Structure 1
Amino acid sequence: MTQPLWSKEQTIAQTELQKKITQFMSGGDVILDRELMLYDIQASLAHVQGLQRIGVISGEELAKITVALDKITKQFQSGDFVLDSRFEDCHSAIEWFLTNELGETGKKIHTGRSRNDQVAVATRLYCREALNELANSSQQIAETCLALARKHELDILPGYTHLQRAVVSSWGMWFASFSESFCDNAYAAKSTCELINSNPLGTAAGYGVNLRLDRDYTTKALGFNRKQVNPIYAQNSRGKIELQVLSSFKSALLDIRRMAWDLSLFSTAEYDFVKVGDDFCTGSSIMPNKHNPDAIELMRAEYSRLVGAYNEIESLLSLPSGYQRDLQSTKGALLRGVSSALQCLQLVPSLLKSLVINVSKCEASVDASMFATDKAVELVIEDDMVFRDAYRHIKYNYQELESRKAIDSLKERVSPGATGNLFLSEIEGRLGAL
């Protein structure tokens, strides 16, 4: 292993115990940091540019460091440079590379910063991109659902409450419900991104440094909306930022869980309302007849994985002000939660497009009782009957509903957003404004 950044000695010969302690303290970090490596390089470039602006390094030194950072970026992307057990983390790896390439000049990169603000800024950059991907995925799901809502606007789907038949509904309304919900999820992701898009670089270990760092420059260079002003808060916000990000993902996956539950039920032989595409299903190792919607079931489970990550971070944040090593443990939960959630969300548009609706089965599942609410409203309007009297009348006279047609029920339910008036243009307008 390379010399730790915190070491006072030039070389360290580790005992077996020390090796075990090092493995415990940072063994997993070097693997996790493969996700953060490029963000840390990006922040390192902005930092040295800022150092040059205040005269800590020369223009010539900046040029050399810039070339070296570009070199490690390309080598990391190609696989020629591997972040492995030689290093504590991505931060030590970058500094080692620069020192190996540039000698004394490479050692200057850490002036005015700590690994604390390095981790914070790399994580912030990662979170910003993750939220943008969440917003994009949510928008794609919403747009897919909107298109399917138009396609199946008047295709009948029994509506349920308490898992009991309630009223006649439509696949158009079902798809529109998820289009609107993922429109909200996209807006929520963008709002969270705006909230967390502040720059902690230059706050060092949580107390600032005795240099006039050009934090406004690094803020602009890294695309942040503002700088995070207070150094103590820069450390206190670690974990809190991660929870805000995961909370946005939880909102999206909560909708996925409900969608997956519906499709799991509707695709059973007992319902037979819809067939899930073969790509999203598997067979059984022993039962040749099985066609299992495994991908949907795993999508349904994804929310619980994310909640686990959220709870893992939340449970360790009972800490005093300032940096505590416990905060290192937020990294794994965040990266695992975000990565898995994005994989799930990116599959949803293709899943929805694979669905084949069994129109005849859906229509056959409508019975006369499901027109009762429509008829009660009609009695109020046409016969001037008060609603409670109309309610009781229909409850004991279902025979009056036998001749009604499901398609008429869909078309006549014209309250804004209902089956005969889905207001898809309003959802489309919100999506267009994203």
Structure 2
Amino acid sequence: MKLWDKGITTDKKIELFTIGKDRELDLHIATFDIVGTMAHAMMLQKIGLLSEEELKVLLPALKNLYQQAVEGKFKIEEGIEDVHSQVEFELTKQLGDVGKKVHSGRSRNDQVLLDLKLFARHKIMEIVEKVEALFQVLQDKSEKHKHDLLPGYTHLQVAMPSSFGLWFGAYAESLVDDLLLTQAAWKVVNQNPLGSAAGYGNSFPLDRAYTTKLLGFDDLNYNVVYAQMGRGKMERTVAMAISSIASTLARLAMDACLYMSQNFGFIKLPDEFTTGSSIMPHKKNPDVFELLRARCNKLANLPQEIAAITGNLPSGYFRDLQIIKEVFVPAFDELLSCLDITALAVGNIEIVQNIMDNEAYKYAFSVEEVNRLVLQGVPFRDAYKRIALEIEEGKFNPDTSKVNHTHEGSIGNLCNDKIEEKMKRVLNGFAFEHVQSALKKLIS
């Protein structure tokens, strides 16, 4: 079944090529297509294109399909092109002519726009929940190890004293900024495109504000041409948020790989979190962090993949946009998996104590010695030269027992409570409750 069928048989090879992976990928958006159809049907009844009696039989049938989709029992049958066709086919099979009426005022173009926005909105809520959980693991680790020093590096050269509190806390605060970007993506996603049809509106007196309210959107994509132009742009915007989170995880994974190597030896993982070698019996490899790094680097490239598909398209709908689903839809579960495994691995990191007692790190205290002289009244540049000369002559013997950093965000004043407050403000800005309440009311 094809919604555009005019009685002409399509060449089989052309059909397979143009459908692509849609039937497989559309199962991920089936629940959202059904919810969108519920809202659309209620709007059609409101403007007189469906009767109350027709709506009364449509909604239970749609709710039954929704439950099947939730339970994984909804299938797109052989010969049916996509989820939109399957839903209409099921309704027509059960209800006859009533099922044929639900497409009035819609196109598959605005259907898939709506489905992808509802899908992305749902997945963003899951991502935010996982990011918050990882944030808390990092904050807890930061507090627990705030007094445990390790060397800080610039240019991969020993630079200044750092701490595990700073290291874990840095990635916690990075996630706050990642969620700020995610919140911007959320605001782009949470606008209703339904009613834009094929991109030029409709002669029916559609009540787009009503479907916006029913589906819990914050606002409309008002201009129908822009609503269609939003396909690809929405996905790329969300991909930028995914990329930002993934980049934070990849960088953390890279640090962990370095710090676990024998040349650094700063952290360990429990043996059950490592893998071995087929010929070297001593090996305990950080494969979990290496694969995390690779997966997240792939996700970090997602905006460029989408931009490459949409980069030279004019306004209006083009079938090119279908290909975006192939990289966009799977990205969410991949990121969710990476967030889960990061929280698990970081939560089980064991740190090595007294690292800075090693003679190899004594030059990390050079700035401490310069500052000590400055506090005694020596001009900074003279103090710098004096310590530099001691280092060159092999006479540098710092006092490694005193590291006194007190300003905001430093070793002695991590400001984790302030970072926690920042995260709470960002989380409150999503206002997920409005969306959840609207969908719950619609479905029930």
The yes-or-no answer on 1:5 pairing with 2:3 is yes
Residue type of the partner of 1:28? Answer: K
Q: 1:307 to 1:403 in 2, by over 3 A?
A: closer
Query: C-alpha displacement at 1:45, in angstroms?
Result: 0.4
| Pairing partner for 2:317 from 288, 309, 323 | 323
The yes-or-no answer on 1:253 pairing with 2:214 is no
- Structure 2: which 5+ runs fail to align? 428-444
Other-structure match for 2:345: 351
Q: 1:279 to 1:432 in 2, by over 3 A?
A: farther
The yes-or-no answer on 1:138 pairing with 2:131 is yes
Q: 1:24 to 1:101 in 2, by over 3 A?
A: same
Query: C-alpha displacement at 1:338, in angstroms?
Result: 2.3
Other-structure match for 1:335: 329
- Structure 1: which 5+ runs fail to align? none
Map of 1:210-289 to 2, 5 A cutoff? Answer: 210-289=203-282
Other-structure match for 1:380: 374
The yes-or-no answer on 1:402 pairing with 2:400 is no
- Measured in 2, the distance between the counterparts of 1:20 and 1:286 equals 49
Other-structure match for 2:16: 23
Other-structure match for 2:417: 425
- Measured in 2, the distance between the counterparts of 1:328 and 1:403 equals 63
Q: 1:361 to 1:375 in 2, by over 3 A?
A: closer
Q: Deviations over 1:53-80 (max 9, x none)?
A: 0110011111111111111122233343
The 3-state SS of whatever aligns with 1:160 is strand
Contact 1:257 1:303 in 2 (8 A): yes
The 3-state SS of whatever aligns with 2:201 is coil
- Measured in 2, the distance between the counterparts of 1:264 and 1:365 equals 23
Alignment TM-score, normalising by the size of structure 1: 0.93
Alignment TM-score, normalising by the size of structure 2: 0.91
Query: C-alpha displacement at 1:377, in angstroms?
Result: 1.4
Identical pairs, percent: 38
- Measured in 1, the distance between the counterparts of 2:177 and 2:201 equals 39
Contact 2:247 2:297 in 1 (8 A): no
Other-structure match for 1:65: 58
Other-structure match for 1:53: 46
Query: C-alpha displacement at 1:115, in angstroms?
Result: 0.2
What is the aligned residue count? 423
| Pairing partner for 1:95 from 82, 88, 91 | 88
Other-structure match for 2:117: 124
Q: 1:107 to 1:365 in 2, by over 3 A?
A: farther
- Measured in 2, the distance between the counterparts of 1:137 and 1:403 equals 44
- Measured in 1, the distance between the counterparts of 2:148 and 2:192 equals 50
Q: 1:418 to 1:46 in 2, by over 3 A?
A: same
The 3-state SS of whatever aligns with 2:231 is coil
Query: C-alpha displacement at 1:244, in angstroms?
Result: 0.4
The 3-state SS of whatever aligns with 2:178 is helix
Query: C-alpha displacement at 1:432, in angstroms?
Result: 2.7
More off after superposition, 95-104 vs 270-279: 270-279
Residue type of the partner of 2:372? Answer: E
Map of 1:171-190 to 2, 5 A cutoff? Answer: 171-190=164-183
